[in-house]
Structure 1
Amino acid sequence: MSESSSVYDDLRLEKELCDAVIRVDNVEFHTHKIILCNCSPYFRALFTNWSTPNCQVFDIPNVSPDIMKLIIEFAYTGFVPVTKNNVQELFIAVDRLNVMGIIQACSQFLEKQMSPENCIGIWWFADAYYHPELIHKALLFTLSNFEKVAATSEEFLSLSAQKLVQIIESDQLNVKQEKTVYEAILRWIDFAPEDRRKYIALLLFKVRLALMVPEYVIDNVTHNEVVKACAECQMILVKTLEAMNDLRKNWFSESIICNFLTRPRLPTAILFAVGGWSEGSPTNTIEAYDVRADRWVNVINTDKTPRAYQGVAFLNGSVYCVGGFDGVVQFSTVHRFNLDAHTWQEVASMHSRRCYVSVTVMDGHIYAIGGYDGHNRLATAERYQPTTNQWTLIASMQDQRSDASCTTLHGKVYICGGFNGSECLSTAECYNPETNQWTLIADMDSRRSGIGVIAYADRVFAVGGFDGTARLHTAEAYNPQTNTWNAVPSMLHHRSNFGIALIDDCLFVAGGFNGITTTLDVECYDAETSEWSGPRNMAISRSALSCCTVYGLNNMADYAAPRYSQQFSGEEEDEVE
C-alpha cells in the first residue's frame, strides 16, 4: 500500500473529510467520493449522473455489508482477501458494481482453485456473468483434463447437450484414446436416459470414431442398445467403416483431416527434435512431433547456424539451445526460440564452451553440465536464470564427463555416464541445490557414453549409449529410495547420441547412431505396459540431436500437423436444446 493510500484510508477510518455515506442494510460506510470513483465507473456514474450534487447518502441494494466492506477497503488499499467462502458472492457484487480490480482478483483465485471436479462449475459461473477470459480458461482446463473430468466430475453429468457438444467436438480435447469420449457420452446419457437418448446421433457424430480400434467399434459401439435403436447412428457407423478403410490407404491425406470422424485432435504437448549431425555435417533442422497425428512437422528455422551435440531445454514458453558444435567451433553461446513469436534471440553466453553438454531444467533454472570445450572434458557446471539473463557457476562434478545425459527428479539433478577422455563411464552422480554438492550414486550396470537419461515413472532411466565396444539397446532405471539400478526392457534398436523426451506419459527416443550410420528411427516406451513400440520416424536421419517437450502454448496448432475445420458431411446437424 502506498503512503498516500494509507493516508486516505486513515481519513476514512477517522471519518475525516468524508463526503459520501454508502448504506447497505442500514450499515453505513463513510467514504470519499473521489476514491470510489477511481475504483469503479459505477460509483462515478452514481455520484455524477444518478444523484444530485448535494446528495451524501447512497443506498446500494443487493449487496451484503460484509462484501461492501471488502469493496470499500479495496478502493482505499488495492487489496482484497478472496477466499473459497466469499469468492462467489464477491464476484457477483463486483460484477454488478464494475470493480475491475476485484473481478480480476476473483478470476485469478478461481483459476488457481480449478480442478477436474469444479472446472465445469467455474465455466458455468463465468458464462453466466460473461467473463470471456475466465470462460476460456475454464473450458481449456476442461478440455485439457477431460479424462479426469469425465470420470470424476458430478458437474459433468449435469452438462446440457449443447455444452457437451462444445466440449467433445473440439480439436483441443485431450484424450489418448478416442473411446474415452464415447464412454463419457454413454455415462452422460445413462444419468438421465429417458431425456438424453435422443441426443445420441448428435453426440456420436462428434466422436472421432474412425480413430478407434475396429474391434472396439464393433464390440462396443455397433452393439450398444442406444446406438442400435437410432437410424442416424447406423448411417454414422457406415461412414465410420468407410473412413477406417480410407485411413488404411491414405493416412493424413487432405480427405482424412477434413473428415470429422478421422481428424486427429490437437496435442497438448509437442516434442521438438533440434539440430544434430546429418549426412556428414551439422544441421539446423527442427522437427516437431504431433503425438495425436503421429506425424513429424518441419519447423521453419530462421537461425541459420547448424549445430550438433548441443543441449536444448523448454522454459517459460521458449526453447533454449545451449552450446554445441558446428564442425569447427565449440560454442559457449545460448539462443532462445520464442515459440509465440517464432523468433530467435541470443541470450547470455555460458562461462565455458560446451559441446557434448548435458542440459536440464529445475526450479526455473537451466543447468548446463560437463561437456567438451575443444581441449578438455569438463567437470564444471553452471545454471542460467532467465529473469536476470545470467549464468552462475555451481559446484563441479566428481568426474569429468562429456557425452553424458542428465535429468531432474524430486528436486535434484542426476547425471549419468559419458566419456572422461579415456574411457566410457558407468558412474552417476546427483546434485543437491540446497547444499551445492554433487554426490556419487550407485554405478550403472553398463558403461554408457552418448546415453539418454530422463526421469520417468518416479525413476531415473538410462537408455542406450556406447560402452566402448558397441552401441547399446539396453536400458536400466535408478530408484533413489534404494540407490539401486534395475534392468528395464531394451529398445527395439541399438543407438547412441540420440534425443530423449517424455510426451503423452511415454518415453520417446529419436535418431542417433547405430554403429554403422545415423538413423531416423523413433520409438517409445510405456511404463504401464513395459513395452517399446515404433511411432512414425523423423523425416531426416541424424545423430547428436537434442529433444525437449513444449507445452502450454497458445499457438500449439502452429507446431502441430495441420487440421481443417470442415465437417465430413454437408448434412444439417440436429438442433440442440
Structure 2
Amino acid sequence: MNKGKIMSASGSNIDSPSKDSLSSGHSNNNNTGVSIDVPSREMSQLSLFSSGGSSTTQDEFFKCEGHAEQSLQSMRTYLQAGQLCDVVLIAGADGRRVSSHRLVLSAASEYFSAMFTGHLREAEEQEITLRDVDGDALYALIQYCYTGTIELREDTVQTLLSTSCLLQIDAVTDACCTFLAQQLHPSNCLGISLFAEHQSCTKLFIHATQYTYEHFMQVIRNQEFLQLTCEQLCRLLDSDDINVPDEQCVFNGLLSWIQYDPTTRQQYMYKLLSLIKLPLLSPAFIADYVEPACGTDRQCQQLIMEALKWHLLPERRSQMITTISSFCRTRPRQSTRGSLLVVGGMDANKGATTIEEYCPRKNSWTVCANMCGRRLQFGVAMLNDKLIVCGGRDGLKTLNSVECLDIANGTWSLLPPMGTHRHGLGVAVLGGPLYAVGGHDGWSYLNTVERWDPVARTWSYVAPMACQRSTAGVAVLNGRLYAVGGRDGGACLKTVECYDPHTNRWTTCAPMIKRRGGVGVGVVNDYLYALGGHDAPASNPAASRFECVERYDPGTDTWTVIASLSSKRDAVGACLLGDRLVAVGGYDGCSYLQTVEEYDPHSNEWKQLAPLITGRAAACVVAVPPQFISK
C-alpha cells in the first residue's frame, strides 16, 4: 500500500488525508466512495467540551491523596541514601553528625527557617554546629521532620523537650509536655515544675505547680522537697493555694527542710518562718514546737510574740494588721478555710432541696447532698460535724421539726422539735447551745427565743426579745447573740438587740442607718455586717431593695457604711469563710440570683466568686471547718 494512501473497501485508492486536507476540513472516509467532511483538529478538541448550545464548562481540580506523605517519604529515602543533602548538623554535646535537607528543616522548624532564609552566617555553611545539643535528640528530631513521628520515653523526654524548645518544633514540645504531665507524681513534680519553668513551657509549669499544691502533704515527704533551695522553698510556702489541713503541717514541712542540713540552713529560719501563718497556730503548738526550733533568734522571737498577741488580745486584732506581711500571716490558706454549704432556699421551682458546697481553693460549687423534703424560711447552724436544720414552712404549714445531717456519713436524723412552730427564724450557736430566734408561727410575728442543749438534747425558752422579728439577721459576736433588723407586723426594722447568755437579758444597741428586712448578717474581725435587704411594706416588697452594706463596731456602738454589693437584693445569705465575708444569692425583684461575692475587710472591696449552680434566695449559709470536710 502506498504510504500516502489507504485502500477503500471497494478496492479504489483514496488519497490519504494530508495535513492540508485535515486543516481544510475534508476527507474521503466512505466505502461507497462518497466524500465526507472530516472536522479539523481545532473542531475535534472543541467538541470534547461542548454540549449542545451550552456555553458553560465544568472545570475541576485534581488532588492526589497522600501526595504530601509520598513526597516526604521520597525525601526520607534520599536522606537515607545520602542524596541531595545540603547541610550537616553537628551536635555540640557529643559531636554526632546528622545530614539533612535545608528545605525540609525549614518547613518543620521556625529555628531552621530563620537560620537558612535570613542573612545569618549559617545560611551559607555546609556544616553547622549546634552548641549543647544532644546527638540522639537531634537525630530523633531530624527524623521527625521527615516522618511526623517520634518516640517519647521517660529516660529521654526531658532532653528531647529541651532540644525541641531550642529548635522551635512546637508539636514535639507540646507532646513532650503532655507526656511529662501524665508522669507527675509527688516524688517528681517539683523537678518537673522547675524544668518546665527553665524551658518556658508555661502550660506544663502551671500544671506541675498546681499538682504540687494539690499533693503538698505527700510532696514534703520526698527527696526533691528536701533538696530545694531556700528561694524555691520560699515561693512554695508563700502560696495560699497549697493543700493542707492546717498550718501545723506547713511548719512541720519547713522544719524537716531545716533539719536536712541544719548547719547550712538554720540561717534561713527567720526568712522562712515569716511565711508561716503563726497567728493561726495554737499557743500550745507555738510554745512546744516553734519556740524551741527558733532558739534565741531575735527576729524569730518577734514573730512569735506577734502570734501570741493575736491570741491574747483578740479585741485588738484589727489594729495589729499594720503591714502587708502581718496581714498575710493572719490570712488563712485556702484549704484551711474549710468549705461553705448553701442549704435550700427559694428558687424558680418554688423551693430548692439541694445543698451546694463551695471549695475556696478550687473556686467551684458541687451538689453534695439533698434535704429530706422541701422547706422554706428555715434556720441552719453547724454543731461540730452536724448540720442542724430548724423550723421553716413546707408550703402548707409552719414547722417546728428539727433535722440533723451528719457531715461525715451524709445521713439525716430527726431531733426533738422546738416548742414553737417558726418560719423566718434566725439560728446561731453561742458557746455550746444553739439558739432559735424570732420568726413567724403562721399567725403572728414572734419575739420568743429557744435554746437547744446538745448534751441534754432538750429545748428550753430563754428571755424574749423586746421586738417581734421575722427574717432578721442573727449572728454571734464577742460571746453575745445579735438580732438585726427584720420586720414585724407593720414595717421593716432598723433596731438591733444583743443577748447576753450569762445574764439572760436582751439589751438594745444602736440602730442601723437603714431599715432592713430580709437582711444578711455576718461577723468578720470583731465587726458585725448587715448586707442588702429591703425597706418596704409587705404589700409591695419590691419598692426598695438595697445593695448597700453597714458595719457595726461594738466598741463604739456605731454603724458605718462600707463598700456596697454589686447589685440590689434581699434575702441574701451571709457567712464568714476564713477571713472573708461571703454573700450568697438573693432576690433582685426579677430572678433568684446565682451571684456569690466575697468581702475583703482589709481592702474594703467585694470580689466575684464562682456562681451557684442553682440561683436561690433566703438560703441558709454555713461554714464547715476543714477537719469535718470529707476528702
Could you say which TM-score interval applies, normalised by the shorter chain? Answer: 0.5 to 0.7
Distance 1:193-1:382 versus aligned 2 partners, 3 A rule: same
- Residue of structure 1 equivalent to 2:504: 436
Q: Counterparts of 1:541 and 1:490 in 2: how far apart (Å)?
A: 20
Q: Counterparts of 2:420 and 2:409 in 1: how far apart (Å)?
A: 29
Q: Counterparts of 2:334 and 2:426 in 1: how far apart (Å)?
A: 34
- Residue of structure 2 equivalent to 1:539: 613
Cα offset, 1:300, TM superposition: 2.7
Contact conserved, 2:335 with 2:626, CA < 8 A, in 1?
no
After superposition, residues 394-473 of structure 1 pair within 5 angstroms as 394-468=462-536, 469-473=543-547
Cα offset, 1:190, TM superposition: 13
Cα offset, 1:172, TM superposition: 3.7
Superimposed CA distance per residue, residues 260-285 of structure 1 (whole angstroms, 9 cap, x where no aligned partner): xxxx9845511000001111411211
Distance 1:195-1:354 versus aligned 2 partners, 3 A rule: closer
Task: Say if 2:451 is the partner of 1:389.
Answer: no
Q: Counterparts of 1:510 and 1:191 in 2: how far apart (Å)?
A: 49
Cα offset, 1:457, TM superposition: 1.7
Q: Counterparts of 1:190 and 1:475 in 2: how far apart (Å)?
A: 51
Q: What TM-score do the two structures reach when normalised by structure 1?
A: 0.53
- Aligned-partner residue type, residue 317 of structure 1: D
Distance 1:339-1:436 versus aligned 2 partners, 3 A rule: same
Contact conserved, 1:479 with 1:485, CA < 8 A, in 2?
yes
Contact conserved, 1:174 with 1:265, CA < 8 A, in 2?
no
- Aligned-partner residue type, residue 588 of structure 2: N
- Residue of structure 2 equivalent to 1:32: none
Pick from 468, 491, 512: which aligns with 2:565? 491
Q: Counterparts of 2:607 and 2:254 in 1: how far apart (Å)?
A: 28
Pick from 474, 477, 486: which aligns with 2:551? 477
Pick from 292, 297, 302: which aligns with 2:361? 292
Cα offset, 1:363, TM superposition: 0.6
Q: Counterparts of 2:401 and 2:533 in 1: how far apart (Å)?
A: 26
Structure 1 residue matching 2:627: 3-state secondary structure: coil
Structure 2 residue matching 1:307: 3-state secondary structure: coil
Distance 1:173-1:393 versus aligned 2 partners, 3 A rule: same
After superposition, residues 499-538 of structure 1 pair within 5 angstroms as 499-538=573-612
Contact conserved, 1:419 with 1:449, CA < 8 A, in 2?
yes
Q: Counterparts of 2:578 and 2:260 in 1: how far apart (Å)?
A: 30
- Residue of structure 2 equivalent to 1:173: 244
Q: How many correspondences in the alignment? A: 330
- Aligned-partner residue type, residue 383 of structure 1: R
Q: Counterparts of 2:621 and 2:561 in 1: how far apart (Å)?
A: 24
Structure 2 residue matching 1:467: 3-state secondary structure: coil
Contact conserved, 1:281 with 1:327, CA < 8 A, in 2?
no
After superposition, residues 59-458 of structure 1 pair within 5 angstroms as 172-173=243-244, 266-301=335-370, 303-458=371-526
Distance 1:531-1:191 versus aligned 2 partners, 3 A rule: farther
Q: Counterparts of 1:524 and 1:283 in 2: how far apart (Å)?
A: 23
- Aligned-partner residue type, residue 375 of structure 2: R
Q: Counterparts of 1:175 and 1:343 in 2: how far apart (Å)?
A: 27
Structure 2 residue matching 1:383: 3-state secondary structure: strand
Q: Counterparts of 1:191 and 1:391 in 2: how far apart (Å)?
A: 59
Superimposed CA distance per residue, residues 184-217 of structure 1 (whole angstroms, 9 cap, x where no aligned partner): 79x9699979679xxxxxxxxxxxxxxxxxxxxx
Structure 1 residue matching 2:613: 3-state secondary structure: coil
- Residue of structure 2 equivalent to 1:29: none
Superimposed CA distance per residue, residues 444-474 of structure 1 (whole angstroms, 9 cap, x where no aligned partner): 0000000011121211111110111311111
Cα offset, 1:330, TM superposition: 1.2
Q: Counterparts of 1:274 and 1:444 in 2: how far apart (Å)?
A: 27
The runs of at least 4 consecutive aligned structure 1 residues that moved more than 6 Å come to 167-171, 189-196
Contact conserved, 1:282 with 1:327, CA < 8 A, in 2?
no
Contact conserved, 2:440 with 2:470, CA < 8 A, in 1?
yes
* Bigger relative contact order (CA 8 A; separation at least 6): 1
Structure 1 portions without partners, runs of 5+: 1-142, 151-158, 197-263, 558-577
Q: Counterparts of 1:454 and 1:492 in 2: how far apart (Å)?
A: 17
- Residue of structure 1 equivalent to 2:27: none
Structure 1 residue matching 2:339: 3-state secondary structure: strand
- The two structures, once aligned, show a CA RMSD in angstroms of 3.5
Contact conserved, 1:409 with 1:458, CA < 8 A, in 2?
yes
Cα offset, 1:495, TM superposition: 1.3
Structure 1 residue matching 2:583: 3-state secondary structure: strand
Task: Say if 2:627 is the partner of 1:548.
Answer: no
Cα offset, 1:412, TM superposition: 0.7
- Aligned-partner residue type, residue 379 of structure 2: G
Superimposed CA distance per residue, residues 31-78 of structure 1 (whole angstroms, 9 cap, x where no aligned partner): xxxxxxxxxxxxxxxxxxxxxxxxxxxxxxxxxxxxxxxxxxxxxxxx
Cα offset, 1:344, TM superposition: 0.5
Contact conserved, 1:291 with 1:504, CA < 8 A, in 2?
no
Cα offset, 1:171, TM superposition: 6.4
Q: Counterparts of 2:336 and 2:555 in 1: how far apart (Å)?
A: 34
Q: Counterparts of 1:278 and 1:440 in 2: how far apart (Å)?
A: 35
